Amino acid sequence: MERIDKIISNELNIARSDAKSLIRSGKVFVNGVCEKSSSRKLNEEKDILNVNGKEIRFRRFVYIMMNKPKGVISSTDGRKTNEKTVVDILPDDMKRKNLFPAGRLDKNTTGFVLITDDGEFAHRILSPKNHIPKTYIAALDKPFDENIIKAFEKGVTIGSDECLPAVLEAVNGDYKTAKVIIRQGMYHQIKRMFKSFGIEVMELRRIKMGKLSLDDKLSEGECRFLDEFELELIKSN
């Protein structure tokens, strides 16, 4: 149960004071009845909320799959560098307060980004102790070989960082196109792992988190909400 002013503030991405003004103005209806009390608590399973003639679907938390395009940063605020963030490019009807990307992709890496306002869930899937796998496709400037596959399996050392064992496979027999599965999220990890063998990553795309694959119907920059079953797939390792 959440207060109606908090729900409206979150769902419409407006200040709590503006939400209270909407309620006082008689533009908010609950189950077809005008509601003027900002303190009323609503049941997301039973109550129907209507604001300015539009039904508002309210949930305590949201979970959004985005197919991140190049040139967009995995952050909540790009004002200091004048850059677009994954939150900036969400459709207006999906924006709400306190959204953030659960885990980062480099600016020029594309693919699956999870955006949520559920800090506990984000911590669970990002915590190193849980080792949730992330799967990537990398286009390389030169082919890798069996020795590098074995090195990935053992765990690559990059500078002072020790990587956990990772999976490295050729895609359709092409050793310049790699499928990589890692269970960490160190800075530029995959690029640095290949770099240690003299190989440059030309393109990098994340295609899976846990056991949930990026929806191939989503073009770059597009997104959709996830359901409970899909969230369980993300948590699977």
Instruction: List the catalytic residues.
Output: 106
> 97: number of CA atoms within 13 Å, CB side?
15
Distances (CA, A) of 81 to 73, 78, 113, 138, 188: 10, 6, 21, 27, 20
Tokens of 155: 């765990």
Q: In whole angstroms, what is the distance from residue 134 CA to residue 55 CA?
A: 36
Return the residue matching tokens 């590098």: 148
Tokens of 134: 């992330």
**Residue 96 amino acid letter:** R
Residue 151 CB partners (closer than 8 Å, separation 6+): 197
- β-pairing, 110-116 vs 201-209, is parallel
Asked if residue 52 lies in contact with residue 74, where contact means CB atoms within 8 angstroms, the answer is no
The burial class, CB within 10 Å (0-12 / 13-18 / 19+), for 170 is middle
Asked if residue 220 lies in contact with residue 67, where contact means CB atoms within 8 angstroms, the answer is yes
Return the residue matching tokens 């050793």: 175
